[in-house]
Amino acid sequence: MYTSSMSSWTLTCTRSSARRSRSQTSTSNTSFTRSAEGSVAGDGLLVLRGLKYVHTANVLHRDLKPSNLLLNASCDLKICDFGLARTGSERNFMTEYVVTRWYRAPELLLSCEHYTAAIDMWSVGCIMAELLGRKPLFPGKDYVDQLKLIIKTLGPPSEDDLTFINSQKARAYIRALPPSEKVNFRKKFPDADPLAIDLMEKMLQFDPRKRIDVHGALKHPWLAQLHDEAAEPGAPCEFVLDFEEATLTEQNVRDLIYEELVTHYHPEK
């Protein structure tokens, strides 16, 4: 778990619980108001700082959603629940059945076998929209409805945007959908900073190759007053999850547990 701290600035966030999830905050009557645009910017910055550490470790979280962002009374944010996380090089684990549906990127809905950290950026874009609008942006009823809702909101993707999709059937299905006009997010979120909407739209690019990455997001003008590269460290090395690929016998597990106990509790041995 990576923790990002708000020690260098103050946001006008009121919390009644030290371990309240963002999903509870965004839908309750808690004083999370538009009186402080910096509140949303600060929350977004913390998520991106944590995600920078995760992505520079070559890890895909694969289940970013409001309930996996924990914010305490001191405005310290933690990204939690790495149960679906995998490294970007683990092709054997590239299943599309990851990420809670409302925060799932188009490439996952379209069953693309290979995907990148861009899936996490899509999720952050959905979370950001939820912070701005106080409700989920894409509350699809099933994966087909989810895809339709995304295209209805963002407008039909261009032919160039469809080239990342391997399945000809999937491309044909998207082309056959009724034409729709892109939602005007400035009208949808009239109180939001135009720069906030610009960053959100860069995260919610249908084509993952055109989606902004975490480094670009941290440098976006909307976060300019809060951005501090010295306070945004990357991981010192890439994370290795190859232990999940090992075939272990019962004796192997016993030996590993014993070794861990000795190393942790009796390092002198």
Where in the chain are the domains?
A: 36-238, 242-268
Look at the alpha carbons of 95, 96, 99, 105 in this order and tell me if their dihedral is positive or negative.
Answer: positive
Ramachandran sector of residue 176 (left: φ over 0; alpha: ψ -120 to 50; beta: rest): alpha
Look at the alpha carbons of 245, 260, 52, 76 in this order and tell me if their dihedral is positive or negative.
Answer: positive
Q: What is the pLDDT of residue 92?
A: 52
The Cα–Cα gap between 27 and 18 comes to: 17
- 3-state class (DSSP) for residue 70: strand
The b-or-e profile of 16-45 (16+ CB within 10 A means b, else e) is: eeeebbbbebbeeeeebeeeeebbbbbbbb
The Cα–Cα gap between 61 and 88 comes to: 10
Cβ neighbours for 83, distance < 8 A, ≥ 6 positions apart: 63
> pLDDT tens per residue, the chain (269 residues)?
444 432 322 222 223 222 334 444 343 322 223 334 557 888 899 999 999 999 999 999 999 999 999 988 888 889 998 888 888 765 555 555 567 899 999 999 998 878 999 999 999 999 999 999 999 999 999 999 999 999 999 999 999 999 999 899 999 999 999 989 999 999 999 999 999 999 999 999 999 999 999 999 999 999 988 888 888 889 888 887 666 667 789 999 899 899 989 888 877 76
Q: What is the pLDDT of residue 240?
A: 75
What is the end-to-end Cα distance of the chain in Å, rounded?
29
**Packing angle between helix 194-203 and helix 37-56, nearest 10 degrees?**
30
The Cα–Cα gap between 5 and 75 comes to: 7
Top-tier CATH class for 36-238? mainly alpha
The Cα–Cα gap between 63 and 267 comes to: 36
Q: What is the pLDDT of residue 15?
A: 31
Q: Are 197 and 186 in contact (CB under 8 A)?
A: yes
Q: What is the pLDDT of residue 100?
A: 85
The Cα–Cα gap between 84 and 12 comes to: 33
Q: Which residues are catalytic?
A: 63
Q: What is the pLDDT of residue 269?
A: 60
The Cα–Cα gap between 255 and 260 comes to: 9
Cβ neighbours for 240, distance < 8 A, ≥ 6 positions apart: 87
Q: What is the pLDDT of residue 128?
A: 95
Q: What is the pLDDT of residue 36?
A: 44
Angle at Cα 144 formed by Cα 28 and Cα 162, nearest 5°?
A: 110
